[in-house]
Amino acid sequence: MSGLKPQGAGGSASAPGALTGSERRPGSSLSPKPKIAVAVSGQGRSLLNFLSGDYPFAVGAVICSNPKALALDIAREHGLPVYVDDFRSVDADALNRWLTEDSIALIALAGFLKPFPALADYRNRVINIHPSLLPQYGGHGMYGKRVHEAVISAQEAFTGATVHFVNERYDEGSIIAQARIATTGILTAEELAHQVFQLECALYPEVLTRLLKRELPLSEGRIWHFEKGSPC
**CATH for 156:** 3.40.50.170
Q: What is the pLDDT of residue 23?
A: 55
Segments of the chain with pLDDT less than 70: 1-31, 229-232
Q: Does one domain contain both 141 and 93?
A: no
Instruction: Tell me whether residue 169 is in a domain.
Output: no
**CA-to-CA distance for 185 and 189, rounded, in angstroms?**
12
pLDDT of residue 24: 52
Residue 78 within a domain: yes
Residues 142 and 100 in one domain: no
Containing structural domain, residue 220: 128-162+174-227
